[in-house]
């Protein structure tokens, strides 16, 4: 566990960072924040509309601003991130990095089986083209693994099972 006691959840779109974050909150004293939620409230716009109206580069610049604020001002917090947030330069300084890992096909299946599948897909501009999304996954996965302090395979596990594993591993991590 890093000095600031933050846990940062990273991982590909749709892997379940939000669901796991909510479950961790239910089962611990952590309060959670989500980088996409912060961006949406700062910009007063949905992520999808920021991508459409301002472009991806602008979105990444807001992620960078948020990363600096997180490093400086946030402690004892569970930070759930957008799938591309890991690119910020100071990620290691923000907290203990936990990767939620799963094969691309399983992530896709998880999204497709969700009752709100359509909304889940349409709010994520980088999932519009599944072939491109798979390429992105292939490029990112080794980078996620390289950065992670802790890796949790979330395939076919409930949010509660993931939560127990994460809290146990974070406690042990120095």
Residue ranges binding ligand S3P (CB under 6 A): 13, 17, 36, 47, 82-84, 124-126
The least CB distance from residue 131 to ligand S3P, in Å, is 16
The b-or-e profile of 39-54 (16+ CB within 10 A means b, else e) is bbeebeeebeebbeee
Task: Return the number of the residue (119 or 168) whose C-beta is nearest ligand S3P.
Answer: 119
Which residue sits closest to ligand S3P, CB atoms considered?
A: 82
Q: Give the residue with the Cβ less far from ligand S3P, 63 or 71.
A: 63
Shortest Å, Cβ 158 to ligand S3P: 19
Q: What is the DSSP letter of 149?
A: S
CA 116 to chain centre: 19
Distance of closest approach, residue 56 Cβ to ligand S3P, in angstroms: 8
Report the residue number, 2 or 124, with the smaller CB distance to ligand S3P. 124
Whichever of 115 and 174 has its CB closer to ligand S3P, that residue is 115
Residues 6+ apart with CB under 8 A from 50: 39, 40, 43, 58, 59, 62
| Residue with Cβ nearer ligand S3P (100 or 170) | 100
Distance CA 93, CA 74 (A): 11
SS3 content of the chain, % helix, strand, coil (to 5): 60, 15, 30
Closest approach, Cβ 172 to ligand S3P, in A, equals 26
- Contact assessment for residue 1 and residue 173, using Cβ atoms and an 8 Å cutoff: yes
CA distance 70 to 114: 31
Q: How far is the CB of 171 from ligand S3P (least distance, A)?
A: 26
């Amino acid at each position: 566990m890093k000095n600031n006691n933050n846990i940062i959840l990273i991982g590909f779109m749709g892997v379940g960072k939000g669901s796991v974050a909510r479950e961790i909150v239910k089962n611990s004293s952590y309060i959670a924040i989500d980088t996409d939620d912060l961006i949406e409230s700062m910009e007063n716009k949905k992520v999808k509309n920021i991508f459409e109206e301002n472009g991806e580069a602008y979105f990444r610049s807001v992620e960078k601003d948020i990363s600096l604020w997180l490093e400086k001002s946030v402690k004892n917090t569970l930070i759930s991130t957008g799938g591309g947030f890991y690119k910020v330069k100071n990620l290691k300084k923000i907290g203990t990095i936990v990767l939620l890992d799963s094969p691309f096909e399983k992530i896709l299946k998880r999204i497709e089986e969700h009752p709100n599948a359509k909304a889940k897909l349409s709010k994520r501009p980088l999932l519009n083209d599944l072939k491109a999304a798979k390429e992105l996954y292939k490029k990112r996965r080794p980078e996620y693994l390289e950065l992670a302090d802790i890796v949790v395979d979330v395939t076919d596990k409930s949010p509660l099972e993931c939560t127990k594993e994460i809290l146990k591993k974070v406690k042990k991590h120095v």
